[in-house]
Amino acid sequence: MQENLSIAFQGLWNHKLRSVLTMLGVIIGIASIITIVSTIKGTSEQIKANLVGAGTNAVSVQLYQKNNPYDLSWNPPPEGVKPIEEDTRKKLEELDHAQSASLFRMREWVNGVYAGNYSFNGSLIGIDANYLSTAGYALLYGREFMAADFEGCKKVCLLDAAAVSALFGSEFPLGQTVEIQGSPFTVIGVVNPVSKTEPDINSLTDYYTYYSSGGGNILVPESTWPILYRFDEPQTALLTADSTDNMTTLGQEAARLLTASQITGGNGSFSYRAVDVMEQAEQIQQLSNSTNSQLVWIASISLLVGGIGVMNIMLVTVTERTAEIGLKKALGARKKRILYQFLTEAAVLTSCGGLLGVLSGVIMARLISAVMGTPTAVSLGATAIALVFSTAIGLVFGLIPAVKAANLNPIEALKRD
């Protein structure tokens, strides 16, 4: 094998221009595939980041009636569905891939919230002590809720930056009063997401896909929720997964646990389900990938052309080296040795073309990303497959020339020279 490799590289070096021109089809094909796959992967990661967010990995599990979320804004608490207790929350936290679990109640696009002459049109959330860390919030200034706030049902609240802007404009919010459903709540702190990926909003559909509420959030202790609404409303669970890839699995397990433990009656139409943003991301990715996969097949045609070029040049090589083959066979070289020698030369030729194609594809992907702003991500798996595939092309298209060389009659071969 070592001798065959040495002969193959020596042949490439002795015929540099011919070798480069022969590899050109393989180089272009591999480079095109690497560029397309890198663009597909980069776009997929961007879609996932837009929908999931940067690093929070939070999955929400809420109550459904048949195939629709149960809206407590307009409907009474359902019979046979219990509020979630602390021991159940701990069971959620003990699920595989769960890092933390929180319970909350929410009203989206809430009315009846005022601060002076300003009104608020966003989300009101009744949270437990675990919500801020689970949802990925950090305190900007002021203080967070303490145990005494929950135990004493204190009318205090936290605002995010959007809510501060809506209710107080440029005024300093701490210590100010916000009227919520006719009850005064004191602002004790301002919070904001620790990390946030801003999606590309190009249409109204994108807006409703990525944002459920644009008016900001007001957070109150969950113990004060009965003052504003009803005490027996079932909560929504929020869990943090240990990785983005495990969000779907964690959401399904949590939904099964809550459905089994919290629903004790009713007509069987109620269940808990995970709001699966990963599924949304996959659906959007599939639309993109179905088109891009066609481009990959088109780019693969150049690999076929490159393989035909390799077969052609190897046939020429066999013709040029007829005397050498005849001499080797006259000295006792077996067919298998001649076959392996020419297969090795073809495989080395296409492998070098594959390596150059991978490097060209990575450079092209970086250039496209820099010039057009398209996200790209080089796939190590695709790179490895491309290199293996390029070697396979040499073996497949080099087989006919290798068999021809191995079957040469040594006497006839020496006569031709």
Give the pLDDT mean for 276-292: 57
Higher-confidence residue of 388 and 287: namely 388
Q: How far is CA 321 from CA 359, 397, 399, 400, in A?
A: 33, 19, 16, 16
| Pairwise CA distance, residues 392 & 400, whole Å | 14
Give the pLDDT mean for 309-316: 80
Contact between 251 and 61 (Cβ < 8 Å): yes
CA 152, chain centre distance (Å) = 43
Give the pLDDT mean for 269-280: 75
Give the pLDDT mean for 384-412: 77
DSSP letter for 73, please. T
Give the pLDDT mean for 237-247: 87
Q: How confident is the model at residue 269 (pLDDT cuts 50, 70, 90)?
A: confident
Q: Which of 20-34, 222-236, 314-328, 357-371 has the lowest mean pLDDT?
A: 314-328
Higher-confidence residue of 365 and 152: namely 152
- Beta-carbon count within 10 A of 232 CB: 11
Q: Is the pLDDT of residue 168 over 90?
A: yes
Instruction: 120-123: list long-range contacts, CB under 8 Å, 24+ apart.
Output: 120/163, 120/166, 120/167, 120/178, 120/215, 120/216, 120/218, 121/166, 121/215, 122/162, 122/163, 122/166, 122/213, 122/214, 122/215, 122/216, 122/217, 122/218, 123/212, 123/213, 123/215, 123/216, 123/217, 123/218
Contact between 157 and 218 (Cβ < 8 Å): yes
User: What is the pLDDT at residue 197?
Assistant: 47
Answering whether pTM is above 0.85, one says no
Phi-psi region of 216 (alpha: psi -120 to 50; beta: other; left: phi over 0): left
**Taking the domains of the chain in order of start, what are their residue ranges?**
2-50+283-416, 58-241
The chain-wide mean pLDDT, for the chain, equals 80
Q: Is the pLDDT of residue 413 over 70?
A: no
How much of the chain, in percent, has pLDDT values that exceed 70? Answer: 78
DSSP letter for 81, please. B
Q: Is the pLDDT of residue 166 over 80?
A: yes
Q: Is the pLDDT of residue 5 over 60?
A: yes
User: What is the pLDDT at residue 193?
Assistant: 84
Per this entry, what is the length of the chain? 417
Give the pLDDT mean for 53-62: 74
